[in-house]
Structure 1
């Protein structure tokens, strides 16, 4: 390091001092939250899903930004978690109905009505193709076909990386089917050392 014309020594001598407040942040929580939301939700969603939950996802992103500015209070993050859980529930319910109603005419419109309303008219009436399909689906095998994939989600709040860290949300998800075994984790880590 002390050899004449050492690149490190030259770089150190010529760099300008910049106050910390003007330096680019090493961790941008807003950008990371948007990236995580995009990875967890948007990449998994279909266009019909985005139309249904897009406004709620925007609200979740706004609340997440506010929570980041609220000195990492757990209550601010719990509201975001509940909103994301509602979005996930809506998407999974829609996908389940789409798969179960395969072969029904105007399936997408019928599914949107089923999700959105308390009472829905069955297309074609009691003797139509949709009614026969629903009857067959509900009477076969005591109501519903066996699951194709099993999913387990574990959500916890714990202190990471050590016992002195603040408790943050953690998520572990496992998908199991005949051809697939996938485990994914979304882990938070306290970066503010007190």
Structure 2
């Protein structure tokens, strides 16, 4: 499927929970670990955000056989992923399941997660993770980012100003033991 054209201002797209913008993609490129380090995008759905990110920053798509970004989504009887190249897509058995690649991930991105327990499990399994990006509704910030606040330190005041639409937030957390990407 063709990718939509983004602008610096956030806009809604039918295939994405989060509003999308060039500014959001730029932030992700700045804060997520550089290739060849692995980042997992949990809750990728049809893969639009991830496909736009890889399209804007093609060096993140792959370095030879090494994949540096996977979109992770729950397996379904119908294909959920419509935008992300298959080599960048992972499926898990259920909303509770963690991709085995979490053990080698250095970055995590949660897009509209529904269970804070899943965030906790990814942080537990991903012992090498040094940065996490959380994107979701502002009304969920306190509850859903509790595990992230226990794990690390919020990096500045990135709350979606100009990155996503009103009512949404983008937060960046770094591991509190001083590990930087």
- TM-score class, shorter-chain normalisation, is under 0.3
- The TM-score with structure 2 as length reference comes to 0.25
Greater relative CO, 1 or 2 (CA 8 Å, sep 6+): 2
Greater Cα radius of gyration, structure 1 or 2: 1
